[in-house]
Chains A and B, each alone.
Chain A
Amino acid sequence: MSVAYSVIAVLGTLVVAFIVSLLLPGIERKFIHARIQQRIGPPITSPGIMAPIKFFFKQTINPNSPMPRLYNALPLISLLVVTVLLLFLIPQMYFVGALASVIAIIGFLKVEEVMYMFMGSLSRSVLSVRMPFPDIVKGAKHPETPRRFLEELSTLRAFRLIAFGSFPVYIALFVSVAVTGSIFLSDIVAYQQLHGPILFTVAGALGAVVFFIGYMILLNEYPFGILKAKADVIEGPYMEYAAKYRAYNYLTRGFLMFVLASLFATLFLGIAPNILNPNFIITIIVALLFPMLMAVMSAFSPIFTYKQFYPTVAAVSILGVLAIVAASL
């Protein structure tokens, strides 16, 4: 009976999470962006559901890639990593021990970030191919300069994101560790069931702010979207993904939105995602609120360059450290 209960809880949570995640991009664009910008916006199902369905039936154009099969597999690997991350957040999976810990979560998120580097370095966009203009004739500036593709540029930025940009979210994860004294999710959830949500402490509130900024950075949303800034790298690592591979990218992003919100609910509210627990509705509410807040912020911000990005990340990271210090006191 308990095994069946666990299987239902795990599969049910994954399915519901996936369904909710399909609506998140639509909510973000229709209800927030479009309303703020005084336009009608797309149908709510369009960005998360109809667009991927459409892409599944498009012709696949293979990019100019040195390793096309690996390149095409990367979105699926990303989706898999995010799914596994959610899997280990579900209480019925806490028996796996170290895999259901904050350290493992950081590892999974890092793998997800590294995918951008692979995507960018394995793609050769047609937008960067030399045009039939006199680049190499007499009079042209710097005629023999090696050409760098826009995706390569995005790869370099992905490296910076991994090395520095994603600090806030990882620091925020350790706020709950500092409060509870354990890296295991089971302990963190149990602590909050006894003592109340961490969110309602000073350390927790600061950590939540830091987590939210980190959430936006991980999702490459404006103003932190350095990986896919339309002003220069356009879509960055994703640029050459076509048809079903682009659909996987869309699905992964929506799913990541839900998973990060679930992570927040687990670490700061003590509510692990479990379809058989009525509190799961709170996880869903958090998953809906986060994209809305993110959309408001992005609608009123220009995209950052490093000049704004680095100080912001540094300031938010310091705030995160202060939250950890406050938690330890």
Chain B
Amino acid sequence: MDDNKEKRTVIEAEIPMGTVHPAALEPYRVRLFVEDEIVRDAEITVGINHRGVERIMEGLPVEKANSLTEKICGICSNSHIWNSCLTAEKPLGIEVPERAGYIRIIMEELERLHSHLLYLAHGSEVLGHETFAMRLFYIRETVMELLGMIGGNRVHYGASILGGVRPRCELDEMRIQQIKNGMDLLEEKITAFADRFVSDPLVMSRITGVGVISQKDALRLACTGPTLRATGVEKDLRRDMEEYDPFEFDVITQDDGDVKSQLLMRVMENFESIKIIRQAIRDLPPGPITNRSWEMKDTPLTKSYIEVPRGTLYHSYALEDGRVRNCVIRTPSMANIGAMQYACIGHHITDAQLCVVQCDPCFTCTDRAIQIIEI
């Protein structure tokens, strides 16, 4: 794990953090192996919130299973249901109307915005900067209101269905105007926050050079999403997704791989999301938002990958008599756990939670598979 870190293995004690800890939003456990107050090794344990979603999905009608995937995560719920729909739509040959595709993108980018803002707020809280955290939550409210307006809920919107999006997610002129206004407001507020953030010497001293993950280590540890891009790797699955073909956006990267890079990475990605949403609103094609002319049939095991706020989300299942079989879901946080552990090494205990949080973990989503270790 710590091949490239300093070769010191003097471990005086173990400091356990979690499963219940104020700096951790979710139930997970970090074991820090320390020398004085410097972390020499770290171990993250998940599995406390296991719900067995994949097992529950086994044998469910695909429509029900899709709805269930949304409950995997409260932050990236749209990503799960969208990817689950894509997993079935591809082998069934369902043509998604162009307008529905645009609305899906709008929902996904709004979700990315609120996820990144939540990440920044939580990061600020772990830094001990409650004022930044509070202000970011206020900024995030704009996105939450837009999501609530389109989907009917602030958290589980249920936008995607097989063949398009739900009728309630149709965007009329009034909604389009609200989204436009929301984007203007967000751009202004996020810019002001970013200026304040980078010009704060105290904050910069806390996050610069902390939790460094080099590009080589990020690739070795199979990092994904913004965690990977913050090390300088220009890898964004949205570039390869045909749903994003009509949109122009930049893949944001940072070079240092430290907490500062990770935070700034998300700040900059927010602007790209705003750019994509504006394009989608501007070019929103007319037409239906649902295609109901398709037939159910058995399909082989199909894999689908999409880029969600935390990285690459994987869904796979087969269909048999319209029911889901052999479902496997892998969330990006699972891929980033190695980086979280690695980032803690060599830093002060107070920075450990920051090193974990910098990778934007969502362990509740990750807690689905039970790993049975043969003793």
Contact of A128 with B by CB under 8 A: yes
Across-interface contacts of A153 in B (CB, < 8 A): 15, 37, 349
Q: Which residues does chain A contribute within 8 Å of B41, judged by CB atoms?
A: 141-142
User: Do the beta carbons of A308 and B15 come within 8 Å of each other?
Assistant: no
* A80 on the B face (CB < 8 A): no
Asked if B251 lies at the interface with its beta carbon under 8 angstroms from chain A, I say no
Q: What distance in Å separates the Cβ of B290 from its nearest Cβ neighbour in chain A? A: 41
Q: Is A230 within 8 A of B128, CB to CB?
A: yes
User: A38 contacts B134, CB within 8 Å?
Assistant: yes
Nearest chain B residue, comparing its CB with the CB of A311 = B205
Choose the segment among B157-165, B296-304, B351-359 that binds chain A (4+ C-beta atoms closer than 8 Å).
Answer: B351-359
B354 shortest CB reach to chain A, Å? 7
Using known A-B contacts A232-B352, A234-B21, A234-B22, determine if residue A302 contacts B206 with beta carbons closer than 8 Å: yes
**Of A37, A140, A141, A156, which is within 8 A of B135 by CB?**
A37
A142–B375 contact, CB under 8 A?
no
Q: Is the CB of B21 within 8 A of A302?
A: no
Complex CA gap A304/B205 in Å reads 9
Contact of A138 among B12, B17, B19, B375 (CB under 8 A): B375
Q: From DSSP, what is the main secondary structure of chain B's interface residues?
A: mixed
Can you name the residue of chain B whose Cβ is closest to the Cβ of A128?
B16
Contact of B13 among A140, A145, A300, A302 (CB under 8 A): A145
The minimal Cβ–Cβ distance linking A311 to chain B, given in whole angstroms, is 9
Tell me whether A302 and B202 are in contact in the complex, defined as CB-CB below 8 angstroms, given that A137-B373, A137-B375 are known contacts.
yes
Residue of A131, A156, A222, A308 with most chain B CB atoms under a 10 A cut-off = A131
Give CA–CA (A232, B15) in the complex, Å. Answer: 9
CB distance from B320 to the nearest CB of A (A): 36
Bound: A36/B126 CA distance, A: 19
Shortest distance between the CB of B43 and any CB in chain A (Å): 5
B153 part of interface (Cβ distance < 8 Å)? no
Query: B155: CB under 8 A from chain A?
Result: no
Which chain B positions have C-beta within 8 A of A308?
Answer: 202, 205-206
Looking at B37, B206, B350, B375, which has the most chain A CB atoms within 10 Å of its CB?
Answer: B350
Q: Which 6 A-B residue pairings sit nearest by Cβ, starting from the closest?
A: A303-B128, A148-B13, A37-B134, A302-B127, A302-B129, A145-B14
Extra contacts besides A36-B131, A142-B33 (6): CB < 8 Å: A148-B12, A229-B350, A232-B349, A302-B124, A307-B348, A308-B205
